[in-house]
Amino acid sequence: MMTRVVRTAAIAALGVVLSSPAAADLRPVAAQGVLKCDFSKARRDRPSGPMLTPLVRGAFSPVPLETVQLVDKKLQRKLMVQGVVAQKTQTDTVEVVARLVNCTGKPMQVEARISFMNDQMTPTEPPSGWRRLFLESKAMGVYAEKSLARDPRHYLIEVRTAD
C-alpha cells in the first residue's frame, strides 16, 4: 500500500515539473562539434601590461604577468589558455581562476602553481604548491588559487607537464 502511495506521488510530482513553464523552455540543442585549437592565432595575440624583465638586457625574454606561463616547451602545441580572471575576495585576498584547454586527442595531466607579487614585482608570499590537473581529451579544466597575503597587485601562473 505504501509503495503505491509513493509511486502515485512521484508520478504526480513529475507531471507538475513537466507542465511547469520552465519545462516548456527546454529545447533540443544541436551539438557544437569537436573542440579545435588554432595555435597560430593564439600566438599572434601577445599580452601587454606589466612584465618581469631581466636586469641584464637580453638575458631572458620578458615574462608577462597576469598570464599563464607554459614552463615545458612540449606543452606549447598541446595546451591553450582560454582565459584568466582575478577577483578580490571578501577578506581582501585575490582569487585567480584560469581555464586551460587540452588540444590533444588524449587525456593529459599537468601541474600548475601561482606566484603573487606587489607593485615592485617582488613576492608577497612563497609560490603555491604544484597542483595536478586532469584534462580530458579536447576538454577544458580549471585551475584556481587564492592568495594568502592581502592585496597582491600581480600574479603569474606557471604550468608544467606532470611527471
Per-domain residue ranges of the chain: 39-161
For the entire predicted model, the pTM comes to 0.75
- pLDDT > 60? residue 22: no
In CATH, the number for domain 39-161 is 2.60.40.3230
pLDDT tens per residue, range 86-136: 999 999 999 999 999 999 999 999 999 999 999 999 999 999 999 999 999
Residue 67 per-residue DSSP state: S
Look at the block and give the residue holding cell 620578458: 62
Torsion angle in degrees (nearest 10) through CA of 60, 97, 142, 144:
90
159 contacts 112 by C-beta, under 8 angstroms: yes
Look at the block and give the residue holding cell 603569474: 156
